[in-house]
Amino acid sequence: MNRIILVVTIVLSLGAGILSFLTKQQAESVLEEKRTATAKNQTLEAEVKKLTATKKESESKIGELAKTTEDQKTEVEKVRTEMTSRQGEIAKLKEDLQTKESEIAKSKSRLKELETEVSAPKANAEAEAKLAAVSDQLDKAQKAALEQEKRAEQLATQLENEKKKKVEEEKKIEIAKIEKRQNALGKIIAYNAGWNFVVFSLGDADGVTPESELEVQRNGEPVARLKISKIQPQQTTANLMPLSAKRSRSLPEVSLGDNVVFLKPPKAKETAPIPSAIDSAAQSSSVPVSAAAAKSDPFALP
């Protein structure tokens, strides 16, 4: 009986030792898994913080570029208003110039009549006085016409400078838009593998157009190309496309949170050269009598 109890005791002791050993190994395994999970969690939290900081920095840059673009648009509108005002002044000066030309023509006609009267046998002192008065009026009209021409040239020069300034402002706005597109960084916010389309967080406000070339990237490496299908102000829907023709049989797989970037931002539009406003003014209006002719012969005909 004692021998049986002793055997049972030994068996129970061995079982307890084995159970304790197995429990210890299992506990160590659980602790190791917990440490690994904690390390992974810390790494993920660091990556989330880094992505959040990058997103805030990108949003800040985009906000600054948007404000710069609005300021430049306001400046362009101001230049356009000034150009319209200058064009009105030039039109008025042209009308005044035509009026002066008409007055000069009438004065010349009257001058011919007086010259005929003076050359006739019945010429008298009164006719000579009228001739002198008309000659003086003609000289004044010619001087006024020259002043009007100079003023028109000055306004034409100002108009041309303002047009050049407008072109420069438009170029700056276009460059700001390109920089905004280059700095824009979107994220995949929805993915449907069955229908092979994604939704990402860039839209019309970020410069996305039907012709935009965009790419999905993960850890800086390209994953897929995107073909735009629907553009909204803050997000866009697009179909997934393979990176090359060789991979066309296997459609790419993307994940939520993958980056979306512009491949080739559109270039600034080329602006056609502005014709010289001075040449246009010179072609549309002319002074009938030159300054040199007015000085040498006040009675010269055009």
Q: Are 268 and 175 in contact (CB under 8 A)?
A: yes
pLDDT reported for residue 213: 92
- Residue 166: name the closest of 102, 103, 78 by CA: 78
Residue 35 included in any domain: no
Specify the pLDDT at position 296. 46
Residue 212: CATH number of its domain: 2.40.10.340
Residue 94 burial (CB < 10 Å; 0-12/13-18/19+)? middle
Q: How far is the C-alpha of 107 from the C-alpha of 290, rounded, in Å?
A: 16
How many Cα atoms occupy the beta-carbon half-sphere of 189 within 13 Å? 12
65 assigned to some structural domain: no
Instruction: Please indicate, yes or no, if residue 245 is contained in any of the structural domains.
Output: yes
Cβ neighbours of 23 (radius 10 Å): 10
What confidence score (pLDDT) does residue 228 get? 96
Predicted local confidence at residue 285, as pLDDT: 46
pLDDT, residue 238, reads 96
| Euclidean distance between CA atoms 173 and 75, whole angstroms | 10
Structure tokens at 247: 């991979």
- Of 258, 241, 268, give the one whose Cα is nearest residue 202: 258
Between the CA of residue 88 and those of 74, 85, 94, 129, 249, what are the distances in Å?
22, 5, 10, 41, 65
Structure-token match 């003014």, residue found:
281
DSSP labels for 203-236? -GGGT--TT--EEEEETTEEEEEEEEEEE-SS-E
**Torsion sign across C-alpha atoms 198, 203, 204, 209:** negative
32 lies in a domain?
A: no
Q: Phi/psi of residue 184, each to 5°?
A: -70, 130
How many structural domains is the chain composed of? 1
Segments forming the whole domain that contains residue 188: 184-262
| Pair type for strands 214-218 and 236-241 | unpaired
Q: Helices (DSSP H) in 120-214: which residue ranges?
A: 125-183
Residue 200 lies in a domain: yes
Give pLDDT, residue 294.
41
Judge whether 214 and 225 are in contact, CB under 8 Å. Answer: yes
- Classify residue 257: in a domain, yes or no: yes
Do the domain assignments include residue 87?
no
The rounded average pLDDT for each run of 10 residues, N- to C-terminus, in the chain (302 residues) is 83 82 83 87 86 81 81 85 87 87 86 71 68 86 89 90 87 69 81 92 91 92 94 95 70 88 65 49 45 44 42
Q: What is the pLDDT of residue 116?
A: 72
The answer to whether position 197 is within a domain reads yes
* Cβ atoms of 156 and 165 closer than 8 Å: no
Q: What span, in angstroms and rounded, lies between the C-alpha atoms of 60 and 67?
A: 11
